[in-house]
Amino acid sequence: MENLPERIRIKDIARLAEVSVGTVDRVLHGRLGVSESSKKKVEEILKKLNYHPNVYASALASNKKFLIIYILPEHNEGSYWCDIEKGMKQASEGLTDFHLSVSPLYFDPYTPDTFDACIQEVLAQNPDGVVISPTLPEKTFSLIGELNQAGIPFVFVDSNIAELNPLAFFGQNSVQSGYFAGSMLMLLTNQESQMVIFRHIHSGKVKLMNQQQYREKGFREYMSKHQPKCQIFELDIDVKLSPQEVDALLDRFFAEHPHIQCGLTFNSQVGILGEYLERRAIKDFHLVGYDLLDRNVKCLKNGSVRFLIAQQPIRQGYNSIDELSRHLIFKKEVKQLNFMPIDLLTADNVDYYPDIIEK
Amino acid sequence: MENLPERIRIKDIARLAEVSVGTVDRVLHGRLGVSESSKKKVEEILKKLNYHPNVYASALASNKKFLIIYILPEHNEGSYWCDIEKGMKQASEGLTDFHLSVSPLYFDPYTPDTFDACIQEVLAQNPDGVVISPTLPEKTFSLIGELNQAGIPFVFVDSNIAELNPLAFFGQNSVQSGYFAGSMLMLLTNQESQMVIFRHIHSGKVKLMNQQQYREKGFREYMSKHQPKCQIFELDIDVKLSPQEVDALLDRFFAEHPHIQCGLTFNSQVGILGEYLERRAIKDFHLVGYDLLDRNVKCLKNGSVRFLIAQQPIRQGYNSIDELSRHLIFKKEVKQLNFMPIDLLTADNVDYYPDIIEK
């Protein structure tokens, strides 16, 4: 190929592709009004030249403002959702130079109708993109119907509803994560004949699309394959019980099942159980749970929780906003399925857990 | 504070801090010639306004070119160092818009004098920054002396020499990693009375600063604390042995130690041992090793290696170049000690390992 100036200009590309400068510009910006054959010629030249338009300069020069809305369940300080949101805020701060603003909406997961106000607010604000945790499947379907009609791209975080075809999903493969939890729990014990799943439930009738369920599914797959004789008990713990009531429930359970020496939870509430074991000075019970909440990590270090499985919620939140923004601002192509790692943390490696974004 | 226009200008800051526009400009760009009191006033106003200069625009507008040189051991396709270098290249590609170029130099770790040519080349090219893996401590000391004299900042990757005070270090805490390896190996077995450390050594006299040694140190700390009665054997495997010689060595070792049922390596060569176990159809040996080389992952999936411990080499390489570049181009403050995670991989979670940079 002939010699080219160090900095390739659009008119060089036009000359080589034998099209007009306007055509090159339209191809570069993905605009309509270009014949297939011209488009192909331009793209071939771009590829040969290894041409990357200076996306930063274009975006900075543009005056276009971008608004992303994210919709999350209401949550308390120290919860799993706080970390998701922390990552989202970090990503948005990193892109303020490009006229990006990011704005939150919250719903009460136990009062699904509170999601309707979120839908109304999204439609009123008409954002450039939306990030949602689709924990309420039916409500999510309604929202996505509206977004599709308005041509607004959306990203799922934490859990996925694949048939809604999001621009991208960031979260764990929950079934595989439960399978992995089973394999690790069984390492702690010698062919146990009994174990228990502690479930945290909400007494109402709300059907939450729940990672807990998928993780339990994967866990049971592991057990039926590798430990088919192990008897699996379940203990439902209502989120509305007082700490005293939880203790009484656990006392009763352990009195009735004196031989059970291992168990797990598929949600982030393992700290409640670890603290119970510490209060009762039960040393020979092997407990596994999820997520690096402060109280969980404390139990891990104390030895009352043996393993925590984690999934980098800060990075999940960060990537959901960052990738959607780069898609909107820089026309970046986005990968649809982005599974988070299935991280195993013990007292000995938890201090080096990488879920921190510092950019 | 009074109302300000949406976009804060330097002259607004100057007015509020009661200094000249030139003074604000000097503070923003970290230039000399500003009194301490003026500097303090300007910084207070910047903080109150939450002012972030548009670093991208400034960097794009500047014509300054940046050169970073990285120095790595020579390596073959598929090795640990390939992943480090892959991450470095990805980081450099992400910043070409900012006139950054990144250029490699290699040395032969078993012929230390080859490092001298690297030092000469660095001094000749006079780069803006250097990234080095300090596997040859003495040679590294010479290089750093020269860099300090020339005022060139440097970053260590993979292993650290803290007393040389690098701008930043990216790598694992090797001692803790070995301690963790011990805790996980012991989960696989029931109070073993014997185990073996497989060492890959170089028969020459070259003293390499070696992660292997630090990991073994941490492992022995774990064992003396938690399994003091376990007898630890060592088997040195010279890197120059042929595959047949390695097999013969291992055959002899296992014949002499028929009761040993677990072992580990502290380097990335565990695949050699896993493949041996597969060839000999030895099923009851528990093997743990390091790094996700393709052959190691294959052994993990086949079951001949039970655990691999990893440390995200692609991210290590990526971050080393990315952080140094952002320091040079955007004057970003850089954290000095950046420990990589201590990741545990099994056949059940390895497919979700996150060491991929896609930006």
Beta-carbon pairs below 8 A across chains A and B: 84
Give the residue from chain A lying closest to B222, CA to CA.
A348
Query: In chain A, which ranges are continuous DSSP H helix?
Result: 10-17, 21-28, 36-49, 55-61, 80-93, 114-125, 137-150, 174-187, 211-226, 243-256, 270-279, 294-302, 313-330
Of A340, A341, A346, the CB nearest to B183: A346
How far apart are alpha carbons B326 and B95 in whole angstroms? 9
pTM attached to this predicted model: 0.82
| A274, two tokens | 């670890």
First to last CA, chain B: 39
Predicted pLDDT at B135: 87
Under 8 Å between Cβ of A168 and A323: yes
Give the residue from chain B lying closest to A341, CA to CA.
B352
CB contact under 8 A, A97 and B343: no
A96 at interface of B, judged by CB pairs closer than 8 A: yes
Tell me the β-bridge partners of A158: A171
- The DSSP result for A240-270, as a single string, is TS-HHHHHHHHHHHHHH-TT--EEEESSS-H
Predicted pLDDT at B157: 96
A90 at interface of B, judged by CB pairs closer than 8 A: no
CB contact under 8 A, B354 and A342: no
CB contact under 8 A, B352 and A176: yes
Q: Is A121 exposed, middle or buried (0-12, 13-18, 19+ CB in 10 A)?
A: middle
**Which residues, other chains included, contact B335 with Cβ-Cβ below 8 Å and sequence gap of 6+?**
A358, B168
Under 8 Å between Cβ of A301 and A347: yes
B54 at interface of A, judged by CB pairs closer than 8 A: yes
B307 at interface of A, judged by CB pairs closer than 8 A: no
Under 8 Å between Cβ of B105 and B69: yes
Predicted pLDDT at B22: 83
Q: In B, which residues are within 8 Å of A183 by CB distance?
A: 346, 348
Cα torsion at A155, A156, A161, A163 (round to 10°)? Answer: 10
> Mean pLDDT for each consecutive 10-residue tract of chain A (359 residues)?
55 84 78 83 79 69 88 88 93 85 92 93 96 91 95 95 95 95 90 87 62 91 94 92 96 95 93 96 95 94 96 92 92 90 95 63
Predicted pLDDT at B36: 86
| A254, two tokens | 């352990």
B333 at interface of A, judged by CB pairs closer than 8 A: no
Q: In B, which residues are within 8 Å of A352 by CB distance?
A: 172-173, 176, 339-342
- The ipTM estimated for the assembled molecules is 0.80
A303 at interface of B, judged by CB pairs closer than 8 A: no
B340 at interface of A, judged by CB pairs closer than 8 A: yes
Q: In A, which residues are within 8 Å of B183 by CB distance?
A: 346, 348
Interface test with A, best of B300, B337, B343 (most A CBs within 10 A): B343
First to last CA, chain A: 39
| A200, two tokens | 């945290």
Task: State the Cα angle at B91 between B87 and B94, rounded to 5°.
Answer: 140
- The DSSP result for A79-130, as a single string, is SHHHHHHHHHHHHHHTTGGGTEEEEEEEE-TTSTTHHHHHHHHHHHH--SEE
- The DSSP result for B73-107, as a single string, is E---TTSHHHHHHHHHHHHHHTTGGGTEEEEEEEE
How far apart are alpha carbons A198 and A273 in whole angstroms? 9
CB contact under 8 A, A187 and B190: no
Predicted pLDDT at A10: 77
pLDDT tens-place values along chain B, 359 residues long: 444 445 567 787 888 888 888 888 778 766 777 888 888 888 888 777 766 666 667 777 777 899 999 999 999 887 889 999 999 999 998 887 788 999 999 999 888 899 999 999 999 999 999 999 998 888 999 999 999 999 999 999 998 999 999 999 999 999 999 999 999 999 988 767 899 999 988 765 545 557 888 999 999 999 999 999 999 999 999 888 999 999 999 999 999 999 999 999 998 899 999 999 999 999 999 999 999 999 999 999 999 999 999 988 999 999 999 999 999 998 888 999 999 999 999 999 999 986 544 43
Longest Cα–Cα distance of chain A, Å, equals 84
Chain A closest-CA separation from residue B353 CA (Å):
5
Q: Is B249 exposed, middle or buried (0-12, 13-18, 19+ CB in 10 A)?
A: middle
Predicted pLDDT at B3: 46
Among A304, A302, A192, which Cα is nearest to A257's?
A192
Characterize the bridge pairing of strands B194-201 and B231-238: parallel
Under 8 Å between Cβ of B87 and B357: yes
Give the residue from chain B lying closest to A190, CA to CA.
B190
| Domains in chain B, CATH or no CATH each | 10-53 (1.10.260.40), 61-171+313-340 (3.40.50.2300), 174-310 (3.40.50.2300)
Predicted pLDDT at A358: 42
The answer for B 159-218 residues in CB contact with A (under 8 A) is 172-173, 176-177, 179-180, 183-184, 187-188, 190
